[in-house]
Chain A
Amino acid sequence: MRKGKVQLVENKKCIEVKDLVTEYTSGGLIIHAVNGVSFSLEKGRNLALVGETGAGKTTIAKSILRILPDPQGKITNGSIIFEGRDLLQLPDNEMRKVRGKRISMVFQDPMTALNPVKTVGVQIAEVIKKHELISKKESMEQAKAMLETVGIPGNRHSEYPHQFSGGMKQRVVIAMALANKPDLLLADEPTSAMDVTIQAQVLEMMSDLMKTLGTSIILITHDLGIVAKECDKVAVVYAGEIVEYGDKVSIFKNPSHPYTIGLLGAIPDLYSDARRLTNIEGLPPDPSDLPQGCSFNPRCPRATDVCREKTPELKEVASGHECRCFHCGK
Chain B
Amino acid sequence: MSIVAKSDYILEIEHLKKYFDVSAGTVHAVDDISMRIRYGKTMGIVGESGCGKSTLGRNTIHLQNPTGGKILFDGQDITRPNATQMKRLRSEMQIIFQDPYSSLNPRMTVEETIMEPLLLTKRIPKNQIESETKRILDMVGVAQRLRQSYPHELDGGRRQRVGIGRALALAPKFIVCDEPVSALDVSIQAQILNLLMDLQEEQGLTYMFITHNMSVVRHISDNISVMYLGQLVETCETRELFNKPLHPYTKALLSAIPTTNLEHQQERIVMKGEITSPIDPKPGCRFAARCPYTKDECYQQQKLEEVLPHHFVSCCRVRELKKEQIAEGSLLFEAQATAEME
Direct A/B contact, Cβ within 8 angstroms: yes
Write the chain A residue with the least CB distance to B157.
Answer: A283
Stretch at the interface among A38-46, A120-128, A263-271, A308-316: A263-271
B86 within 8 A of A: no
Considering residues B187, B193, B264, which has the most beta carbons from chain A within 10 angstroms of its beta carbon?
B187
- B-contact bits for A196-233, CB 8 A (1 contact / 0 none): 11111100100000000000000000111111110000
CA distance A200 to B259 in the complex (A): 12
The interface size of chain B toward A, counting residues with CB under 8 Å, comes to 42
Return A130 CB to nearest CB of chain B, in Å.
30
B35 at the binding interface (Cβ < 8 Å): no
> In the complex, what distance in Å separates the CA atom of A276 from the CA atom of B189?
12
B186 touches A263 (CB 8 A): yes
Distance in angstroms from A190 CB to nearest chain B CB is 13
Chain A proximity of B146: nearest CB distance (Å): 13
Q: Quick check: B48 and A228 within 8 Å, CB to CB? A: no
In the complex where A229-B265, A279-B187 touch, is A195 in contact with B212 (Cβ < 8 A)?
yes
Choose among A224, A228, A270, A277 the residue that contacts B194 (Cβ–Cβ < 8 A).
A277
Q: Which residue of B lies closest to A271 (CB)?
A: B261
Which residue on B lies nearest to A283, using beta carbons? B155
Q: Which of A168, A225, A277 is within 8 Å of B190, CB to CB?
A: A277
B252 to A: closest C-beta gap in Å? 6
- Residue from B157, B252, B258, B260 within 8 A of A252 (CB atoms): B260
Binary per-residue interface labels of chain B (93-132) against chain A in the complex, 1 for a CB within 8 Å, 0 otherwise: 0000000000000000000000000000000000000000
- Closest CB of chain B to A172's CB: distance in Å? 14
Whether A168 pairs with B274 at a CB distance below 8 angstroms is: yes
Residue of A nearest to B256 (CB): A200
Known contacts A195-B49, A270-B214: A52-B261 contact under CB 8 Å? no
What chain A residues lie within 8 Å of B265 (beta carbons)?
Answer: 228-229
Q: Is A225's CB under 8 angstroms from B260's CB?
A: yes
A278 at interface by CB-CB < 8 Å: yes
Task: Among B49, B219, B242, B263, find the residue whose CB has the most chain A CB atoms closer than 10 A.
Answer: B219
Q: Please determine whether B274 and A267 come into contact, CB atoms closer than 8 angstroms.
A: no
Binary interface encoding of chain B residues 143-163 relative to chain A, with 1 for a CB under 8 A from any of its CBs, else 0 = 000000000000101000000
> How distant is A224 from chain B, measured CB to nearest CB, in Å?
5
> Contacts of A201 on B, CB cut-off 8 Å?
270-271
Give A23-36 as 1s and 0s: 1 = Cβ < 8 Å from B's Cβ atoms.
Answer: 00000000000000
Q: When chains A and B are docked, how far (Å) is the Cα of A252 from the Cα of B262?
A: 8
* Contact residues of B between 190 and 218, Cβ < 8 Å to A: 190-191, 193-194, 197, 212-216, 218
The closest CB in chain A to the CB of B258 belongs to A225
Report if A78 contacts B (CB, 8 A).
Answer: no
Given known contacts A267-B215, A279-B194, A222 and B186 CB-to-CB distance under 8 angstroms: yes
Interface status of A318 (Cβ within 8 A of chain B):
no
- How distant is B228 from chain A, measured CB to nearest CB, in Å? 10
Q: Are A263 and B187 in contact (CB under 8 A)?
A: yes
Question: Which interface residue of A223, A224, A253, A271 has the most chain B CB atoms within 10 A?
Answer: A271
Question: A53 near B: Cβ within 8 Å?
Answer: yes
Nearest-neighbor residue (CB-CB) of B264 within chain A: A271
Q: Is A262 in contact with chain B by the CB < 8 A criterion?
A: yes
Query: Nearest chain A CB to B275's CB is how many angstroms away?
Result: 8
Whether A280 contacts B218 in the complex (CB less than 8 A), given A196-B257, A223-B258, A226-B258, comes out as no
Question: B226 in the interface, Cβ–Cβ < 8 Å?
Answer: no
Q: Is the CB of B260 within 8 A of A269?
A: yes
Contact of A228 among B49, B157, B260, B336 (CB under 8 A): B260
B122 to chain A, nearest CB (A): 37
Q: A181 → chain B, closest Cβ, in Å?
A: 24
Residues of B within 8 A of A (CB): 48-49, 155, 157, 185-187, 189-191, 193-194, 197, 212-216, 218-220, 242, 252-253, 255-265, 268, 270-271, 274-275, 333, 336
24 A-B pairs within 8 Å (CB atoms) are namely A52-B185, A195-B212, A196-B212, A197-B271, A200-B256, A200-B270, A201-B271, A222-B186, A225-B258, A225-B259, A228-B258, A228-B265, A249-B262, A264-B260, A266-B190, A267-B260, A268-B215, A268-B216, A270-B259, A271-B336, A276-B194, A276-B197, A277-B193, A279-B194
